[in-house]
Amino acid sequence: MTADLDSLASAALTELASVSDITGLESWRIAYLGAKGKIRAAMASVKAVAIADRPAFGARINALRDQLDAAFEARRAEFGGAAATVAAGPAPDVTEPGRVWSETIGRRHVITRVREELCEVFARMGFETAEGPELEDDEHNFVKLNIPPHHPAREPSDNFYVDDPLRSARPRMLRSQTSTVQIRVMETRKPPIRIVAPGRVYRPDTVDATHSFMFHQIEGLCIDRGVSMADLKSTLFHFARAYFGADAEVRLRPSFFPFTEPSAEFDMKIRLRPDQPERWMELGGCGMVHPSVLEGCGIDPEAWTGFAFGFGIERLAMGKYSIPDIRMLFENDVRFLSQL
Ligand code: DAH
Mutate to test the pocket of ligand 1, among 259, 282, 283, 314 (most ligand atoms within 8 A of CB): 259
Ligand 1 centroid vs 47 CA: distance in angstroms?
93
pLDDT at position 276, please? 85
Nearest atom in ligand 1 to the alpha carbon of residue 289 is: 13
Nearest atom in ligand 1 to the alpha carbon of residue 307 is: 13
Q: Rank 50-64, 65-79, 85-99, 202-216 by mean pLDDT and report only the highest.
A: 202-216
Per-residue model confidence as pLDDT tens digits over 257-316: 999 999 999 999 988 887 888 999 999 999 999 999 999 999 999 999 999 999 999 999
Nearest atom in ligand 1 to the alpha carbon of residue 259 is: 13
Domain 110-337 has CATH 3.30.930.10: yes
Ligand 1 centroid vs 284 CA: distance in angstroms?
7
DSSP character string of 149-215: TT-GGG-GGGS-BSS-TTT-SS-EEE-S-THHHHHHHHHH-PSSEEEEEEEEEE--PPPBTTB-SEE
Poorest-pLDDT segment among 11-20, 79-88, 178-187, 304-313: 79-88
CB-based contact 165:141 (threshold 8 Å)? no
CB-based contact 286:196 (threshold 8 Å)? no
Residue 23: CB atoms within 10 Å? 11
pLDDT at position 143, please? 96
Nearest atom in ligand 1 to the alpha carbon of residue 201 is: 4
Task: Give the confidence band of 340 by pLDDT, cuts at 50, 70, 90.
Answer: confident
pLDDT at position 114, please? 97
Domain spans of the chain, in order of start: 2-78, 110-337
pLDDT at position 89, please? 72
Q: Which residues line ligand 1 (CB under 6 A)?
A: 177, 179, 219, 257, 260, 284-287, 308-310
Nearest atom in ligand 1 to the alpha carbon of residue 221 is: 12
Does the structure show a pLDDT above 70 at 83? no
Residue with CA nearest ligand 1 atom 7: 285
Ligand 1 centroid vs 287 CA: distance in angstroms?
8
Task: Give the confidence band of 85 by pLDDT, cuts at 50, 70, 90.
Answer: low
pLDDT at position 274, please? 79
Amino acid at 235: T
Does the structure show a pLDDT above 60 at 84? no
